[in-house]
Structures are given as C-alpha cells and as structure tokens.
Amino acid sequence: MAEKEQHIDFDKLRGGYYTPSPIAEFICSWAIQNEDDLVLEPSCGDGNFIQAAIERFGELGVNGNELYGRLRGVELIPEEAIKAANRAANFGLNNDTIVNDDFFSFISNQENATYNSIIGNPPFIRYQNFPAEHRDIAIKMMEDIGLKPNKLTNIWVPFLVICSSLLNENGRLGMVIPAELFQVKYAEQTRVFLSNFFERITIVTFKKLVFDGIQQEVVLLLCEKSVPNAQGIRVLQLNDLEELNDIDFDAVAETEVVEIQHDTEKWTKYFLNPREIDLLREIKDSNRIPLANDILDADVGIVTGRNEFFMLKKSQVAEWKLQDVTTKVVSKSNQLSGIIFNDSDFDENAKKDLPNKLFLPENTEFKNLDKNSKRYIKYGEEKEFHTGYKCRIRKKWYITPSLWIPQGFALRQVNRYPKLVLNHVEASSTDTIHRVRFLSDEFSPESIVVCFLNSLTFAFSEVTGRSYGGGVMTFEPSEIEELLIPVVEEHGIDVNFIDELIREDRIEEVLDIVDKAVLIDHYGFSLEETIEFRNIWKKMSDRRINRGKSAKSKPKKKVGLM
C-alpha cells in the first residue's frame, strides 16, 4: 500500500497521469501519416505514446531498426526514461530513441529541428511547481515566439506552443490537453496563437471522464498546420473511450468546421453547431443587448483569511459575547434561495446555526479593544490563526479589509443557472459570493435582477463562465460583467412572484414569463430565436452537469500506462 501511495504522489509531482492506451493509439494513428514521418514525443513518461507510435509505423510497413532517427522521445525523470527506452528496445529501436533531459533544454540545443508529427500528454502542473532552471528556458522560448506568459501559466502551455513551432510545413500535432484550454484566462494567448498558427483544429471531447482517479477533464487536440480545404475548428463530442475506437478518420475529414475567431474569447462556444454559434455572434456584434458592465459592477466578496475564526454562527456569537462586534454576512450560495435576500432569510439561516456573522472589532490597537474582542483574538492567536498568509500581511491581523455592503449578490459558482440577488438585509458576503453595485439610472435593481433570468443571458452564461470536471460553473467578477442582460424597466413582471418561483425551483416557468415579456415583446426576438436560446442553454448546461455526475460516480483506480 505504501508503495502504491508513493507512486500516486510521484504522478502528481510530475504532473502526469496514466494515459489510457486507446488515446495514445488514436492520436498516433491520426498524427503519423507517412512511413518517412519524423515524430517527437516531448514528455514520453514510461513510453505509452512511444509504443503506440512504433505500432503505427508498423501499420505503415516500417518496423524495428528501420525506425532509427524517425522517432524521438524526451523525458525528464530518469526512471521513466529508462522504462521508455526499454519499451523501445523491445521493438528493436536504438537506445538513442529516448533522451533523458528537460524538453526545453533539449530543443534549445537542436538547431532548426522540425517534425512531421508531435504527439503526447504534457505535464499538467503549475508554472511555479516546475523546476526553475527548466521553467526559465520555457518562458524565454515562448517570449521568442511572441507570447507573454505569466506566473499563472500551467506548464502544458509552453509544451503545446513550443511543440507547435517545431512542426514542418504540413505538420500535425496531437496532444492530450486539459479542457481548461477552452476557457481559462491564462490560455487566452494560447487560443489566439493556435487559431493563427494552424489552418484546422479538431478537438475531441468526452462526456465522461477518461482519466481514472482524478476529476481532470481532458480533450484531444488535433492540429493541422496546412490543409487544402475545410479550414477552421470543429469539436467532436464522444461519450467515452469506447466511442473513440469507432471514429472513422475519413468521415471526420468531412465533418463541418466552423470559421475560427482569432480572438481571446473562450472556445466553449465551439461545442455548439455553426448555426447556434452564428446566432450568438450576431447578437453580440449587434450591440442591441446591454452589457452587464454598463448596468452593474461586480466585485469579489470579503477575503477573511481564515473563515474558521472570522465567520461565526449565532451560537458562537452568544458564547463569546460578540454581539456588538459582528456584522451580517452571507457565506454560501445555498443561503440565497431566491432573488431577494430578506430578513426572514437571514433569520432562517441563524436558526439553522449557519455561519452568518463576521467578527469585526473596532479598527484600533489591541489595548483599546473591548474585553470580549480581546479574549476572542487571544483565542485566535492560541490557535495560530494569525499566522496564515492573508492575516499576517495585515497591519492588524484581526481586521478584515474591504468591508462594504452591496446592493446585490452574484453567485460565483452555480449548478443549473446563474442569478443575481437583491440584498435587503444590509449584509456583506465572503469571497464565495460576488458583491454587486447597480450603476444604471435608467433601470431599477429589481428590473435588472428579474430581467437577468432569461434564455438569452443563460445561453451566453454557458460560454462565458468556466466549468471543470465537477460540473459546477464558475464566474469571476469580470465574467459576470461580460454577460448580456436584455433589461427593460416596463416589463410588468412582479419581482416577488418571480422570487417565489425561484425558491420553488420552477426556473422553466420563470424563463417562460421573462422570455415573453422581455425577449419577445420588448426586444423583438421571434419565438423560434427564443427557443434557440433556451436550447443552447440546455445543451451546454446538461453537458456540464452530466459530466459532473460522471466525475462523482467514476471509480478511483488507475489503469494503462503513460
């Protein structure tokens, strides 16, 4: 058992996870087209892609030592490199096939080297966790290409970008990449680079997670540098690995592609069909719908630094006699059941003994504080709460900064759909919930909150927010502000009635009401267009949520080899 646990830790340290053999075989079959191709695997691990490449060459009539010089694998970890070399040797390849080196150092010493095919599964680890001496080389190489990486970059990004630059004129790149490519901010430059560098990009996605033991959603990125026709991007959505075996490459070649936009927008939209993408593009480009940024300001909630200390239940407030030095706060999205947060909601949360008060003593020197605050702060120091990073960088560790009362809230993480909530309690929120100020003189906060609940906004939310393996959609404040909100003041909708429906989880009825009054009657969308918006939202949200269910039900075991 100890040996197995140590192996799993090693996987995480390297940033690598066992790649199912069907994926390696599929990528090699697609990427390696000719018997004289030059092939590179930049992070070959113990050689699963190497073996798949050798077997692919065998299908093309090239075997054993005939492959000398055509296939090269690079691996940083000595033990893994030895395993890969042994696997290659079993097929009659020379020991030079596998190089034990850092990929970026290796490439920097290869003058003008180019390849027909580059394959693999690069490490998924954060920039700061990659050895500095190798990281610095990678960053310099990206800068030479014209990109400006930052410290939020995951190391798979330079692997992908630099490998792309090593392809010859008709080269192909096939890699296992985190689905984060579609949506995270640190990959914006990468999306632009790929869209400019390759004439055709095919992305294979899976509704079920294909890496056992982790919730990391991956995609298969298949990039072609030059194609005679059908230039653009397409997404092939599969259920699982079994369907991967059924893919007909000739049929895929005939699959419709979408014109790729050379911008930093998320690629989540490419899960939609061309007609749906064109509809959303047309709406966004028309400027007929107000941008959220023009009518509201979203900001992060309070960062306490240690919720265990600062966030208090009603019973704790009474125990420590802190009634005079606490303020109302919302700490979890499930405390916001409707679109109006009122006194009865706050009282109900208190009855459930949920954390709904923030410790906020007077901003003064410790010696000047009241005795109950002093006693509680000393308790916190005994527990060493003050040693955490966020607390220790403050002038007074026990004073939480940026405390202001918002007019409303926006959920940071959502399951089925996003919403705005009116704040009728004079409460603030922790950083699990964004704080909202309403900026418009033309539209009331009530109208903005009601009109937000429409099929168009929901459709755009699915291509604006970010979702990971667990199925939850996450919004940063800037992403809330990017949403389109077709708001109108004279809508004739009772905000309290909508609040009741939301509390009863009757979202379809809410959408029917708001879509009719706002999208159709005021903005002039047809019923067919409105149904299209609804279908886009359902398609995208169902995919996201079902993927999350798959993640929770999947057994945690490892199979196959890297």
Phi and psi at residue 294, to the nearest 5°: -85, -15
Domain count, the chain: 2
pLDDT at residue number 88: 93
Domain assignment of residue 503, yes or no = yes
210 and 318 share a domain?
no
Domain assignment of residue 449, yes or no = yes
The residue among 221, 97, 249, 105 whose CA lies nearest residue 164 is: 221
- pLDDT category at 560 given cuts 50, 70, 90 is very low
- Tokens, residue 119: 């394959």
DSSP helix/strand/coil, 6: helix
Higher pLDDT, residue 250 or 426: 426
pLDDT at 376 over 60: yes
What's the Cα-to-Cα distance from 194 to each of 227, 234, 401, rounded to whole Å? 15, 13, 41
Q: Which of 271, 288, 305 is the last residue of a domain?
A: 271
Residue 332 neighbours by CB under 8 Å, 6+ apart = 354, 432, 433
429 and 515 share a domain?
yes
Domain assignment of residue 498, yes or no = yes
The predicted model gives 236-258 an average pLDDT of 80
Question: For residue 511, what is the enclosing H or E element?
Answer: helix 507-514
What's the Cα-to-Cα distance from 275 to each of 214, 425, 464, 512, 532, rounded to whole Å? 35, 44, 18, 23, 10
pLDDT at residue number 559: 28
Give the lowest-confidence range in 175-184, 425-434, 515-524.
175-184
pLDDT at 215 over 70: no
8 A C-beta contact, residue 385 and residue 396 = no
| Buried residues in 210-233 as b, exposed as e (16+ CB within 10 A) | bbebbbbbbbbbbbbbeeeeeebb
192 and 324 share a domain?
no
pLDDT at 9 over 90: no
203 and 261 share a domain?
yes
- Please report where in the chains the tokens 């429906």 appear, as a residue: 501
Report the chain's terminal Cα–Cα distance, integer Å: 21
- Please report where in the chains the tokens 């409105």 appear, as a residue: 530
Higher pLDDT, residue 132 or 364: 364
How many CB atoms are closer than 10 A to CB 335? Answer: 23
Question: For residue 167, what is the enclosing H or E element?
Answer: strand 167-178
Domain assignment of residue 394, yes or no = no
DSSP track, 288-302: -S-BHHHHEEEE--B
172 and 317 share a domain?
no
- pLDDT category at 126 given cuts 50, 70, 90 is confident
- pLDDT category at 86 given cuts 50, 70, 90 is very high
The predicted model gives 96-124 an average pLDDT of 91
- pLDDT category at 548 given cuts 50, 70, 90 is low
The residue among 541, 512, 510 whose CA lies nearest residue 527 is: 512
pLDDT at 301 over 70: yes
pLDDT at residue number 212: 66
pLDDT tens by residue, 284-298: 999 999 999 999 999
The residue among 163, 171, 154, 198 whose CA lies nearest residue 42 is: 163
Domain assignment of residue 392, yes or no = no
Phi and psi at residue 401, to the nearest 5°: -80, 170
189 and 94 share a domain?
yes
Domain assignment of residue 313, yes or no = yes
Instruction: Fill in the DSSP letter of residue 518.
Output: I
Domain assignment of residue 276, yes or no = no
The residue among 404, 403, 412, 402 whose CA lies nearest residue 333 is: 412
The predicted model gives 177-199 an average pLDDT of 86
- Tell me the pTM: 0.81
d(CA 120, CA 41): 5
421 and 301 share a domain?
yes
Q: What percent of the chain has pLDDT over 90?
A: 65
The boundaries of the domain holding residue 60 are 17-271
8 A C-beta contact, residue 299 and residue 477 = yes
Please give the mean pLDDT across all residues of the chain. Answer: 88
d(CA 420, CA 411): 7
8 A C-beta contact, residue 305 and residue 391 = yes
User: What is the Cα 486 distance to its own chain's centre?
Assistant: 26
- Tokens, residue 58: 């065998």
267 and 330 share a domain?
no
36 and 85 share a domain?
yes
pLDDT at residue number 229: 83
pLDDT tens by residue, 115-124: 999 999 998 8
Phi and psi at residue 380, to the nearest 5°: -60, -40
CB-hemisphere CA count at 13 Å for 358? Answer: 27
Tell me which range, 173-182, 268-277, 309-318, is most confidently predicted by mean pLDDT.
Answer: 309-318
320 and 255 share a domain?
no
pLDDT at residue number 561: 26
Question: For residue 341, what is the enclosing H or E element?
Answer: strand 340-341
d(CA 192, CA 200): 13
pLDDT at residue number 508: 98
pLDDT at residue number 147: 87
pLDDT at residue number 549: 61
Residue 64 neighbours by CB under 8 Å, 6+ apart = 91, 92, 93
258 and 406 share a domain?
no
337 and 476 share a domain?
yes
Domain assignment of residue 140, yes or no = yes
pLDDT tens by residue, 326-363: 999 998 999 999 999 999 999 999 999 899 999 999 99
Name the amino acid, one letter, at 527.
L
